[in-house]
């Protein structure tokens, strides 16, 4: 299909007239990142390596399971020398980083089944895209608020010198923490995710980046088929329902804690401060306990 893209230059970016599908939506995300050219550009910008995907799958599971763990990859791609995993994480829990480290390691471990030696023939690159802010802290209690986080499976000596023995790499991306000094290649992809969520009708993205331009063409809402639009709406509805249930569960947990604190004679002010409930909500819980 041939078409004309109209744009104007502004601060080295191109302010375009695409209407982007929301990359926070699972259907849109998979449509964008299962494209082989997009994957090639993404891996090149993030890791600086050439990647020519031959196989691209979604909802990938390994059979038989590894260590009896049932997990699946959102997007799984392979070439003769590389294995790429792309994951989207829309809702943050405390175990996010541990979870995707496991996913990354399982993609490495699975290759041992066909390897004649412990050393694997291919490198594994795992990309995790967060669409909400990190809510985890490190081992020292410091809140994680970085735009890009790396985990390289390599060796270091006491002087800090790195030895590229293994080569496998894991990267976490979060558009909520873009900084002025975020490198351009990374910033292009972070901005793409951000703009698709916050300004889908008038996104400002770098169309000089061929990978970004290709994604914009793929997820342009006007080019989605009726079936894809229906799937997108169904996915949104499922996510909304999931969010409602999760919020209800969190509220019940807070109220149960508040009730127990009130029973122990804790002041309303402290209960409110510790649980995040308003003073009025805590007072109402106190009244309910008195009538029971």
- pLDDT (tens digit, 9 = 90+) per residue, 1-50? 222 333 333 444 444 567 888 888 888 888 999 999 999 999 999 999 99
Q: Would residue 240 count as lying in a domain?
A: no
pTM of the predicted model as reported, rounded to 2 decimal places? 0.71
Q: What would the mean pLDDT of 97-109 be, rounded to a whole number? A: 85
E strand map for the chain: 7-10, 13-16, 55-60, 73-78, 82-89, 123-130, 148-152, 155-156, 162-163, 169-174, 204-205
Note whether 260 and 218 are same-domain residues: no
One domain for residues 198 and 277: no
Identify the domain boundary among 224, 239, 273.
224
Residue predicted with more confidence, 127 or 134: 127
User: Is there a single domain that holds both residue 188 and residue 147?
Assistant: yes
234 in a domain, yes or no?
Answer: no
172 lies in the same domain as 255: no
Name the one residue in this structure whose structure tokens are 């191109």.
Answer: 14
- 185 domain-assigned: yes
For residues 196 and 66, state if they share a domain: yes
Higher pLDDT, 99 or 15: 99
pLDDT one-digit tens code per residue, 50-61? 999 998 998 888
Residues 216 and 268 in one domain: no
Lowest mean pLDDT among 134-138, 166-170, 233-237: 233-237
Question: Which residues constitute the domain of residue 257?
Answer: 251-291
How does strand 123-130 pair with strand 169-174? parallel
Edge-first strand listing for the sheet containing 123-130: 55-60, 73-78, 82-89, 123-130, 169-174, 148-152
80: DSSP letter? S
As a three-state string, the secondary structure of 121-190 is CCEEEEEEEECCCCCCECCCCCECCCCEEEEECCEECCCCCEECCCCCEEEEEEHHHCCCCCCHHHHHHH
Which residues lie closer than 8 Å to 3 by C-beta, 6 or more apart? none
C-alpha separations of 154 from 55, 96, 127, 129, 166 in Å: 27, 22, 17, 23, 6
Instruction: Reduce the DSSP state of residue 292 to 3 states and report it.
Output: coil
In a domain, 2, yes or no: no
pLDDT of residue 187: 95
Taking Cα atoms as reference points, which of 249, 260, 254 lies closest to residue 286?
A: 260
Say yes or no: 207 and 105 in one domain.
Answer: yes
pLDDT at 242: 44
Are residues 271 and 206 part of one domain?
no
- Same domain? For 164 and 287 the reply is no
Residue 289: per-residue pLDDT:
64
pLDDT for 240 equals 46
Q: Classify residue 244: in a domain, yes or no.
A: no
Average pLDDT, the chain: 79
Tens of pLDDT, residue by residue over 165-188, are: 888 999 999 999 999 999 999 999
Q: Which of 224, 242, 269 is the last residue of a domain?
A: 224
Same-domain status, 114 and 78: yes
Looking at the domain assignment, is residue 154 inside a domain?
A: yes
Residue 122 resides in a domain? yes
Could you tell me where the DSSP H helices lie in 72-111?
Answer: 96-110
Note if the bond before 178 is cis, omega within 30 degrees. no
- Least confident window among 54-68, 208-222, 242-256, 263-277: 242-256
Mean pLDDT of 141-149: 86
- How many structural domains compose the chain? 2
Range from 56-70, 222-236, 251-265 carrying the lowest mean pLDDT: 222-236
The answer on 159 and 256 residing in a single domain is no
If you average pLDDT over residues 109-137, what whole number do you get?
76
Same domain for 147 and 280?
no
Q: Quick one: pLDDT at residue 261?
A: 84
Q: Over range 235-241, report the average pLDDT.
A: 45
Q: Is 241 a residue whose pLDDT tops 50?
A: no
pLDDT at 103: 85
Mean pLDDT computed over 243-270? 75
Q: Which residue has the higher pLDDT, 235 or 262?
A: 262
Does the residue 233 lie in any domain?
Answer: no
Domain boundary among 224, 259, 281: 224
C-alpha torsion angle, residues 56, 62, 67, 68 (rounded to 10): 130
Tell me the mean pLDDT in the region 104-116: 78
């Amino acid at each position: 299909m041939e078409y004309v893209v109209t744009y104007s230059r502004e601060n080295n970016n191109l302010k375009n007239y695409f209407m982007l599908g929301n990359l926070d939506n699972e259907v849109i995300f998979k449509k964008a990142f299962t494209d082989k050219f997009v994957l090639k550009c993404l891996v090149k910008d993030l890791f600086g390596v050439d990647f020519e995907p031959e196989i691209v799958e979604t909802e990938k599971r390994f059979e038989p399971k590894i260590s009896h763990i049932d997990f699946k990859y959102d997007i799984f791609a392979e070439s003769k020398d590389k294995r790429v995993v792309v994951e989207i994480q829309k809702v943050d829990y405390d175990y996010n980083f541990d979870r995707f480290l496991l996913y990354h390691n399982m993609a490495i471990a699975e290759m041992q089944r066909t390897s004649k030696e412990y050393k694997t023939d291919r490198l594994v690159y795992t990309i995790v895209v967060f669409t909400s802010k990190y809510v985890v802290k490190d081992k020292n209690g410091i809140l994680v608020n970085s735009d890009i986080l790396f985990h390289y499976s390599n060796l270091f000596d006491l002087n800090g010198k790195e030895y590229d023995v293994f080569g496998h790499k894991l990267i976490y991306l979060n558009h909520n923490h873009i900084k002025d000094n975020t490198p351009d290649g990374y910033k292009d992809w972070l901005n793409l995710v951000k703009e698709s969520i916050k300004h889908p009708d008038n996104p400002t993205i770098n169309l000089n980046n061929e990978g970004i331009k290709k994604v914009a063409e793929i997820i342009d809402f006007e080019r989605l088929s009726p079936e894809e639009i229906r799937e997108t709406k169904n996915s949104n509805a499922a996510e909304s329902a999931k969010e409602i249930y999760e919020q209800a569960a969190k509220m019940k947990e807070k109220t149960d804690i508040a009730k127990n604190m009130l029973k122990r004679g804790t002041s309303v002010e402290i209960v409110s401060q510790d649980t995040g409930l308003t003073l009025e909500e805590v007072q109402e819980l106190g009244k309910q306990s008195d009538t029971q």
